[in-house]
Amino acid sequence: MLEPAQSGEKIFRGIPVSPGVCRGRLLVLERPQDGRISPHQVKESELQCEVGRLEQAIIDTRHEILEVQRKVSEGLGAQDAGIFDAHLLVLEDPTLIEEVSRMIFEEKVTAEYAFKKVADKYAQTLSAIDDEYLRERASDMRDVTERILNHLTGQAPRVDLSHLEQPCIIISHDLTPSCTALLDKKHVLGFGTDVGSQTSHTAIMARSMRIPAVVGLENASVAMKSGDYALLDGFNGLIIINPTDQTLFEYGQLVRKHVTLEEKLREVHDKPAVTLDGARIVLSANVEQAADAEAVLASGAEGVGLFRTEYLFINRDTLPGEEEQYEAYRQVAAALKPNPVIIRTLDLGGDKFLSQLQVPTEMNPFLGWRAIRFCLQQKDIFRVQLRAILRASTETNIKMMYPMISCLDELLQANNLLEEYKRELDGEGIPFNRNIDVGAMIEIPSAALAADVLARRVRFFSIGTNDLIQYSLAVDRLNERIAHLYEPTHPAILRLIKMTADAAHKAGIWVGVCGEMAGDPIMTPLLLGLGMDELSAAPPHIPSIKHLIRRMKITEAQELAEFALQCESGAEILARSTAFVEKIAPSLFDTPRPRQAS
C-alpha cells in the first residue's frame, strides 16, 4: 500500500514479519511469464510420451526439492527444512497427477499445458478458501508448479537468488519458501513481497535466517523499479523509496538504540532471574532439536522447559528409532547439565503432521487425534519414545511431561505404560533413572479445572497457554480473522492459570508456563503474580524477560495479579500490565517506530 510522505519519498506499508532495518538498491523480480505454455496440440501416438515427460518432470522435481531440503536442514535445522514436506506432498497427490494425465489424453495437449491448467485451478481453489493455512498451501502449490514447468519446458529459474553479484533488497510478487531458503545471505539485505502473512512459510524462513522482511505490500512488485534506492523497516512493515536524509538519520538513531539494548541485555546473561525482593524464578528455554542447546546456552536460560520432540519425527521418510531418539535427548541433557531438560512426549496432530504416517484427515484436527490421545493408541511409537527418554535419563537432569492431558485416566494410562517400559529395561539390564520427574502439561480447560486431582500424580505442571487460550476461548490459534479474540489477559484465562498454580502449590509441586505468553515481557509480572515458579520461552526472548524480572518486586507482581483477578475486562488488565512493565523497563519497549505514528 502506498502512502504519501515527505518530499521525494514514497512509503509502502505492509506486514512486518522479520525484524531489522536495511537499505540498498532494489532488485525487482519479474512475475513469471506463462507465454511459454500454449495449448499446443499433440498427436494421438505421442500422448503416452507426454505422460512419460510429466512423470519424469515430477521425479526430477522431487530430487530437486529433496536437495533443497537437505541444504536447508544443514544450514538452518530440521524444523525449517520440514516446510518442504508440503511441497513433496503436492508431488505425491494422486488426484492431481490423474487429472493432468486425463486432460492430456482427452484434450490432446502437452504435459506442460495440462499441468499448468490443473495446478492453477487447484491453487485458485485453495487461495479462495477462508483459511490462512489453506491459502498458504496455494503458495506451496505455485512453488511446485513453477519447478515442474521449468523441468518440462527446459527453462532455468528467473534469477539465481543463491548467487547474486551485488547486495540488494529483493522485491517480488511472491517469494516461495524454497527460493527464500536459498537466498544468498551475503547479498540479500532484506526482502518485500506483494502477498503473504505472518504465518506463511516464507515469513517463518525469513525470521529463522534473520533477514528483515515485509510482506503483504499489495502492488510493490509493479510499483517499484530495480535500481531504486530504498530503506526496508522490518520492525514496522515499511519500505521507503528514496528516503530523505532526515529519514536515514532517524533510522540510524533507532538502529543504534536497538544495538545498545541488545548489548545492555547481555549484562544479565550470567545473572539469575531473581526479583528485587528476592523471589527466584526458573527461566528456561523452548527447543525443537538437539542442536538448539547452543542457542539455549547463548541466551542465558537455565535449561529447557519444553523440548518439542515432534520435530524429530517430521521431514523424513521413516520414524526415528530408539537409538536415534536416545542420542538426541541425551545430547541436549549432557550439553545443559546440571540444568534440567524437560522432554515433552510426542505432540502430533493439530497443525503438525507426519508425512510418513497415513493419518486420516479430520474436520477439527485440534480437537482430534492429537498428542497423548495419539500416543495412547499408537503404543509402538510411544513405547520407542518412552524407552529412549528413560535410557537418556541416566543423564539425571532429564525430566519428561505429557501434552494435552484432559483427564486423570489419560495420565494414569501413560504412567502405567511408563512403568511397563521401566520393567522391560530392568529385564534387559539397561540402566535408567527410575525416579525420573514426570509432569503434565495443563493446556485443556478440563485439566486446569481438575488440576488438584492431577497434581497428586505428577511432580510438576507446565501450562501450555497457546492451547489453553484456544480451547478456553474457542479461538482457533491459526485463524487471523478471529485473532483479535485470542486474548491472553481474558479474565477466564487468568483464573484458570491461578487455579492451576494454587492446586500445584497445595500439592507441593512446582508450576510453570511454556506457551508463548511466557515469552511476552508484558505478561511476565502477571504470570509471576499468579504464582508461576518457572517461565519457558524461545531463546531470543530470554534476555529481556530476565532483565524485567530483575527490575521488579514479586509483591508488585502479586498486586497486579490481584487486580487482574478482580477485573472484568481483559483490555483493562492488558493496559495495566503494559503500563507496569513500561515503567520498570522502558528501554525494552523503545523499539524503532519512527513512521508508526505518522
Cα dihedral 67→185→294→299 (10° resolution): -140
Span of 121-129, 295-303, 414-422, 460-468 interacting with ligand PEP by CB under 6 A: 460-468
Nearer to Mg ion, 320 or 464 (CB): 464
Nearer to ligand PEP, 99 or 443 (CB): 443
CB of 369 to Mg ion, least distance (A): 15
Should residue 541 be labelled a site residue for ligand PEP when binding is judged by CB under 6 A?
no
Interface residue with Mg ion, options 196, 305, 439, 464 (CB under 5 A): 464
Q: Which residues pair with 352 in a beta bridge?
A: 349
Nearer to ligand PEP, 179 or 514 (CB): 514
CB of 306 to ligand PEP, least distance (A): 6
Single out the catalytic residue among 87, 151, 201, 547.
Answer: 201
Interface residue with ligand PEP, options 201, 308, 391, 546 (CB under 6 A): 308
Nearer to ligand PEP, 152 or 328 (CB): 328
CB of 475 to ligand PEP, least distance (A): 13
Q: Which residues pair with 170 in a beta bridge?
A: 27, 191
Should residue 467 be labelled a site residue for Mg ion when binding is judged by CB under 5 A?
yes
Distance, CA of 240 to chain centre: 28
Nearer to Mg ion, 282 or 447 (CB): 447
Nearer to ligand PEP, 65 or 78 (CB): 78
Grid coordinates 501450555 are at which residue?
A: 464
> SS3 for 275?
coil
Should residue 304 be labelled a site residue for ligand PEP when binding is judged by CB under 6 A?
no
Grid coordinates representing 360? 486420516
How far apart are the C-alpha atoms of 444 and 515, rounded to whole Å?
A: 13
Residue 234 contact among ligand PEP, Mg ion, none, beta carbon within 5 to 8 Å by kind: none
Should residue 516 be labelled a site residue for Mg ion when binding is judged by CB under 5 A?
no
Residue 514 contact among Mg ion, ligand PEP, none, beta carbon within 5 to 8 Å by kind: ligand PEP
- Which of 342, 330, 344 lies closest to 284 in space, CA to CA? 342
Interface residue with ligand PEP, options 347, 437, 476, 533 (CB under 6 A): 347
Subset of residues 513 to 532 that bind ligand PEP, contact rule: CB under 6 A: 514-515
User: N- to C-terminal Cα distance for the chain?
Assistant: 15
CB 228 within 8 A of CB 242: yes
How far apart are the C-alpha atoms of 249 and 294, rounded to whole Å?
A: 36
Single out the catalytic residue among 168, 490, 514, 547.
Answer: 514
Should residue 533 be labelled a site residue for Mg ion when binding is judged by CB under 5 A?
no
> SS3 for 13?
strand
Tell me 541's DSSP state: G
Nearer to ligand PEP, 304 or 306 (CB): 306
Residue 270 phi/psi, 5-degree rounding, is -95, 5
CA 75, 132, 12, 221 torsion-angle sign: positive
The secondary element (H helix, E strand) that includes residue 499 is: helix 491-506
Should residue 292 be labelled a site residue for ligand PEP when binding is judged by CB under 6 A?
no
Residue 465 contact among Mg ion, ligand PEP, none, beta carbon within 5 to 8 Å by kind: ligand PEP
Q: Quick one: 34 exposed, middle or buried, by C-beta within 10 A (0-12, 13-18, 19+)?
A: exposed
Should residue 443 be labelled a site residue for ligand PEP when binding is judged by CB under 6 A?
yes
CB 91 within 8 A of CB 65: yes
Interface residue with ligand PEP, options 80, 194, 288, 467 (CB under 6 A): 467
How far apart are the C-alpha atoms of 349 and 352, rounded to whole Å?
A: 5
Residues for the chain: how many in total?
A: 598
Q: Is 151 a catalytic residue?
A: no
CB of 477 to Mg ion, least distance (A): 9
Contact pattern for Mg ion over residues 270 through 309, marking x by CB under 5 A = ----------------------------------------
> SS3 for 396?
coil
Grid coordinates representing 241? 523509496
CB of 465 to ligand PEP, least distance (A): 5
HSE-CB of 428 using CA atoms within 13 angstroms: 10
Q: Side chain identity at 247, as an amino acid letter?
A: T
Nearer to Mg ion, 261 or 312 (CB): 312
Q: Is 168 a catalytic residue?
A: no
Residue 308 contact among Mg ion, ligand PEP, none, beta carbon within 5 to 8 Å by kind: ligand PEP
Q: Side chain identity at 593, as an amino acid letter?
A: R
Residue 441 phi/psi, 5-degree rounding, is -80, 140
Judged by the rule CB under 6 A, the positions of this chain that interact with ligand PEP are 306, 308, 347, 443, 464-467, 514-515
Q: Would you name the residues annotated as active-site residues?
A: 201, 514
Binding site for Mg ion (CB under 5 A): 443, 464, 467
